[in-house]
């Protein structure tokens, strides 16, 4: 697919957007440039960060409307991003020069492949997670094809080895091999202070996993806030994380189907499951915030089984389609904090401090009750139980 641009100098002004009246004024980075030439390897987040202190406010400075957030204007290497002001507010526009120097310009066309457009976030960080299974409901596994044997009864399976499976009913060419992993649960409130947390955060300021809002208001007949009800209760199982083991190519379809292993990231065992593999589709997501605040959102897992997350970690959230999330939503990651002090009677007291935003996560894949995001900013280690809400 290609686009046709008629020439000389084409300056594209983005369509007007709502006034974002509820948002504070946009703030530019110090010494923000008045123009920037896009280069290969840039992302929409990077480009916005050259101008904005809050890159997720991309739609505001580009004056995007709702339709453009879901179907954004494409930006290519060589394009010029221009910063100017309209009605006293900063805005970005797109300039597309053709020709240079004193060369005489004449009308012409330029054709470029959409595949070369600048992505929203680093594609290499999320591409493996776009097509692979990440989270499933328990009942989704009932009819999944199952690995029942290996070539020559091998113990270790690798590239080129044959495996045999029951339950494959179609001739899909490529299959993911996976294993059911840990249950993804809403964090259970934990108001105790571990020694590790004290060591990391210091003797006075201590991280505390705060309790989720009550699902049943006490002393009132008012209905439960749908935003809270959507999240569920502490300890609720939201799904099961899937451990990706590798891929296989179907060689022969039958009652017992034969496949050839293409990749093996981890040990593949009898009893492992299979799922049709789809080609990854990287969408040009535009970073934007939820219109309504989310309640009860928390980090429930750091992908890979590690204890803490950092910049470019993949994290799972206990919010999904049920809470109105969609790919492209940006959430702040906040830590609950307390301070311990001695009162005038020298008794030790603990007081809650305002939550502190320590990171920003870009949601790129959404399921019913769970979503996955890429951590774009992290001022300190991020852990299970951290709160997520509008940044």
Final residue of a structural domain among 67, 93, 118: 118
Both 134 and 245 in a single domain?
yes
Structural domain containing residue 162: 127-183+239-276
Picking from 323, 260, 332, 274, the residue whose alpha carbon sits closest to that of residue 299 is 332
The model's pLDDT over 182-232, given as tens digits with 9 standing for 90+, comes to 888 888 775 443 333 333 333 333 333 333 334 334 444 344 444 445 677
Give which of 14, 96, 95, 93 is closest to 51, Cα–Cα. Answer: 93
Question: Does one domain contain both 310 and 248?
Answer: no
Q: Report which DSSP code applies to 198.
A: H
Q: What is the pLDDT of residue 32?
A: 92
Instruction: Note whether residue 271 is domain-resident.
Output: yes
End residue of a domain, out of 89, 118, 147: 118
Tokens matching residue 14: 């983005």
| Domain stop point among 118, 149, 173 | 118
Choose among 155, 129, 159: nearest CA to 263.
159
Beta-carbon count within 10 A of 83 CB? 17
Q: What is the CATH number of the domain that holds 217?
A: 2.40.10.410
Tell me, what's the pLDDT at 210? 37
List, in sequence order, the alpha helices (H) in 120-273: 123-130, 195-201, 226-231
Asked if residue 32 is part of any domain, the answer here is yes
> Could you give the number of structural domains in the chain?
3
Structure tokens at 174: 């490529």
pLDDT digits (tens, 9 = 90+) for 10-51: 233 333 334 455 678 889 999 999 999 999 999 989 999 999
Provide the Cα torsion 371, 374, 378, 382; round to 10°: 40
Say whether both 198 and 111 belong to one domain.
no
Can you tell me which residue has the tokens 């959409």?
Answer: 114
In a domain, 70, yes or no: yes
- Would strands 205-207 and 237-252 be described as parallel, antiparallel, or unpaired? unpaired
Q: Does 382 reside within a domain?
A: yes
Asked, for residue 188, whether it belongs to a domain, the answer is: no
Answer yes or no: is 18 within a domain: yes
Residues 54 and 149 grouped into a single domain: no
> How far is the C-alpha of 145 from the C-alpha of 165, rounded, in Å?
6
Task: Please indicate, yes or no, whether residues 198 and 331 belong to a single structural domain of this protein.
Answer: yes
Asked if 23 and 106 sit in the same domain, the reply is yes
Q: Are residues 131 and 18 in the same domain?
A: no
Shared-domain flag, residues 251 and 355: no
269 and 142: one domain?
yes
Residue 218 and residue 319 in one domain: yes
Same domain as 94, residue 171: no
| CA distances (Å), origin 90, targets 21, 62, 64, 167, 363 | 15, 9, 13, 58, 26
Q: What is the pTM of this model?
A: 0.72
Cα 128 to chain centroid distance, Å, stands at 13
How does pLDDT run across 95-150, given as a tens digit for each residue?
A: 766 554 444 444 444 444 444 788 888 888 887 788 777 888 767 778 899 999 98
Contacts of 262 (CB under 8 A, 6+ apart): 159, 174, 246, 247, 248, 249
Let me know whether 45 and 142 are in one domain. Answer: no
């Amino acid at each position: 697919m290609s686009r046709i641009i008629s020439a000389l100098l084409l300056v594209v002004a983005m369509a007007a957007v709502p006034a974002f009246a509820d948002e504070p004024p946009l703030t530019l980075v110090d010494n923000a440039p008045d123009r920037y030439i896009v280069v290969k390897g840039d992302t929409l987040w990077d480009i916005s960060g050259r101008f904005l202190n809050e890159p997720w406010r991309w739609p505001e400075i580009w004056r995007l409307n709702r339709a453009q957030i879901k179907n954004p204007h494409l930006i290519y290497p060589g394009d010029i991003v221009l910063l100017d002001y309209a009605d006293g507010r900063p805005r970005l526009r797109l300039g597309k020069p053709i020709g240079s120097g004193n060369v005489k310009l004449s009308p012409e066309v330029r054709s470029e492949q959409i595949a070369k457009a600048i992505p929203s976030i680093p594609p290499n960080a999320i591409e493996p997670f776009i097509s692979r299974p990440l989270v499933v409901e328990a009942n989704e596994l009932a009819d999944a094809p199952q690995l029942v044997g290996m070539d020559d009864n091998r113990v270790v399976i690798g590239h080129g080895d044959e495996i045999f499976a029951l339950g494959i009913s179609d001739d899909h060419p490529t299959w993911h091999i996976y294993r059911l992993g840990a249950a993804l649960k809403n964090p259970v409130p934990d108001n105790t202070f571990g020694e590790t947390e004290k060591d990391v955060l210091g003797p006075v300021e201590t991280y505390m996993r705060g309790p989720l809002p009550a699902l049943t208001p006490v002393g009132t007949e008012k209905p439960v806030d749908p935003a809270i009800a959507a999240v569920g209760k502490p300890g609720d199982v939201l799904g099961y994380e899937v451990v990706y083991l590798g891929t296989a190519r179907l060689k022969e379809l039958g009652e017992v189907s034969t496949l050839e292993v293409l990749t093996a990231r981890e040990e593949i065992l009898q009893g492992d499951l299979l799922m049709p593999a789809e080609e990854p589709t990287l969408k040009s997501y535009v970073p934007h915030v939820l219109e309504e605040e989310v309640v009860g959102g928390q980090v429930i897992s750091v992908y890979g089984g590690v204890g803490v997350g950092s910049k470019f970690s993949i994290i799972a959230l206990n919010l999904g389609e049920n809470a109105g999330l969609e790919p492209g939503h940006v959430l702040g990651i906040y830590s609950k904090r307390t301070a311990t002090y001695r009162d005038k009677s020298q008794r030790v007291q603990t007081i809650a401090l305002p939550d502190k935003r320590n990171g920003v996560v870009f949601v790129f894949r959404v399921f019913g009750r769970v979503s996955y995001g890429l951590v774009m900013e992290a001022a300190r280690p991020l852990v299970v139980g951290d709160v997520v809400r509008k940044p």
